Amino acid sequence: MFNASLEAHGYSVVLFLVMICVNLLLLMRANDLFTFRKQMAYTTPLSAVFLASAIFTGIVLILSKHLSFDLSNIFMIIIAIIITILEVKRIKPLKYLKNVPQAVPLYRNYAQRLLLIELFMMLAMSLWMWI
């Protein structure tokens, strides 16, 4: 049971990393705000599902170890909270952007910064656990 949960957690984390890369790719290719919003309408729920799946399977793993916290568990909880906050901060301004020419480049710089922070944190934690 523990091994299956650990495997599901690993797949969830990898799928979330893939979604971060897909979001970065879509962001780099974005020229039109309307088209970008339409693309985000498909990728945002997927990102949220994979993030929630990683958090849920992490909770299951912690519970299966009878709530024995170690340093890696504490860092994973902190990273999950930070990534959730960064995702909300990245998506919320997209709702209020006006369709003006400078909107996409300004949002692109802001969102790329947040996505790169998320990517770095996920990769750092993943490398720490897998090595």
Domain ranges in the chain? 2-130
Kindly list the averaged pLDDT for each block of 10 residues, start to end, along the chain of length 131. 86 95 94 90 95 94 84 92 96 86 89 96 90 78
Q: Which residues contact 48 (CB under 8 A, 6 or more apart)?
A: 87
Tokens 């799928």 sit on residue? 15
Instruction: Confirm if 86 and 118 have CB atoms less than 8 A apart.
Output: yes
What does the pLDDT look like over 5-43, one tens digit per residue? 889 999 999 999 999 999 999 999 988 888 899 999 999
Report the distance separating Cα 25 and Cα 114, nearest Å. Answer: 14
CA dist., res. 7 & res. 15, Å (int): 12
pTM of the model: 0.90
